[in-house]
């Protein structure tokens, strides 16, 4: 499956640790089948979240990113990306 | 030299590091918030005098004061953040075996306080842990 990079502008930070973990767990749980959340990098200085996903298509991924997710972090950029894992050089 | 953990000696060495570390001073330049670190016993571990709680007044890249609280004789101060973890998880954090973000996401390190402020300033938290890792712990 292709990989995608979604860059979110963080509009709302969670107010508590439980809210943060529960929200992210729900998103991960809801992402099943053809959609997989691989990992995310937070750039706190710019309030941006860089998320790597696997999905059948960018269209199916964007459909998955429900209005609730988009409200907390509107998408600034999305594109198909290719993995070059440096572990393959070992 | 290694220091017993938790102990006043360990805490004072950490204060000296926080107040002399250039990187911490730079990364935490905007941080305003005192914290309490509650060190809880492992299940069934009665060897150490736990729980214990350290209070640290962290302000703009410096530690203005730090002390262990008397949990039997004083009320917990109203700190901006309270971190709670079992001692084995804290020792893993301070030895680099446990990633601080992983500890938070798995609730092995529990955080009470304004999570939005903490996430916006997460490099300060990570650098605070890096400074903690610089204080050797006696086995």
Provide the residue range defining the domain that includes A16.
3-89
CB distance from A40 to chain B under 8 Å?
A: no
The interface pTM score, or ipTM, of the predicted complex is 0.87
- Between strands B52-59 and B32-40, the pairing is antiparallel
Asked whether B57 and B14 are in contact (CB, 8 A), the reply is no
Nearest CA in chain A to B121: A44
The overall pTM is greater than 0.90: yes
Q: What per-residue confidence (pLDDT) applies to A33? A: 83
CB-based contact A16 B115, cutoff 8 Å: yes
For every residue of B57-108, DSSP letters joined together read EEETTEEEEEEE--TTTSPPP--SEEEEEEHHHHHHHHHTSS-HHHHHHTTS
* Tens-binned pLDDT, residue by residue, of chain B (139 aa): 899 999 999 999 999 999 999 999 999 999 999 999 999 999 877 767 889 999 999 999 999 999 999 988 888 899 999 999 999 999 999 999 999 999 999 999 999 999 999 999 999 999 999 999 999 998 7
Domains and CATH numbers, chain B: 8-133 (3.30.1050.10)
Q: What per-residue confidence (pLDDT) applies to A67? A: 75
pLDDT digits (tens, 9 = 90+) for A31-74: 878 899 999 999 999 999 999 999 999 999 999 998 767 888 99
Q: Which residues pair with B66 in a beta bridge?
A: B56
Q: What per-residue confidence (pLDDT) applies to B74? A: 87
Sign of CA dihedral B30, B57, B61, A47: negative
Q: What per-residue confidence (pLDDT) applies to B109? A: 98
Asked whether B123 and B100 are in contact (CB, 8 A), the reply is no
Cis peptide, bond prior to residue B29, ω within 30 of zero: no
Nearest CA in chain A to B110: A17
The CATH number of the domain holding residue A59 is: 3.30.70.3090
CA B16 – CA B11 distance, rounded (Å)? 9
Task: Collect all residues of chain A within an 8 Å Cβ-Cβ radius of residue B115.
Answer: 13-17, 19-20
């Amino acid at each position: 499956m292709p990989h995608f990079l979604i860059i979110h502008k963080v509009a709302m930070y969670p107010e508590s640790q439980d809210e943060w973990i529960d929200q992210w767990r729900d998103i991960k749980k809801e992402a099943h089948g053809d959609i997989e959340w691989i990992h995310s990098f937070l750039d706190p200085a710019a309030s941006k979240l860089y998320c790597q996903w696997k999905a059948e298509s960018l269209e199916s991924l964007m459909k998955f990113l429900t209005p609730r997710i988009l409200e907390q972090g509107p998408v600034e950029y999305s594109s198909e990306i290719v993995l070059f894992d440096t572990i393959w050089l070992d | 030299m290694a220091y017993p953990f938790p102990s006043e000696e360990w805490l004072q060495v950490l204060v000296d590091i926080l107040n002399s570390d250039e990187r911490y001073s730079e990364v935490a330049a905007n941080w305003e918030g005192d914290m309490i670190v509650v060190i809880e016993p492992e299940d069934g571990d009665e060897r150490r005098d736990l729980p214990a709680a350290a209070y640290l007044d962290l302000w703009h890249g410096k530690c203005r004061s730090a002390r262990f609280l008397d949990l039997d004789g004083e009320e917990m101060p109203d700190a901006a953040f309270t971190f709670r973890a079992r001692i084995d998880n804290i020792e893993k954090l301070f030895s680099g075996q446990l990633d601080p973000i992983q500890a938070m996401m798995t609730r092995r390190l529990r955080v009470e306080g304004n999570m939005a402020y903490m996430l916006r300033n997460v490099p300060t938290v990570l650098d605070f842990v890096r400074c903690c890792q610089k204080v050797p712990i006696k086995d």
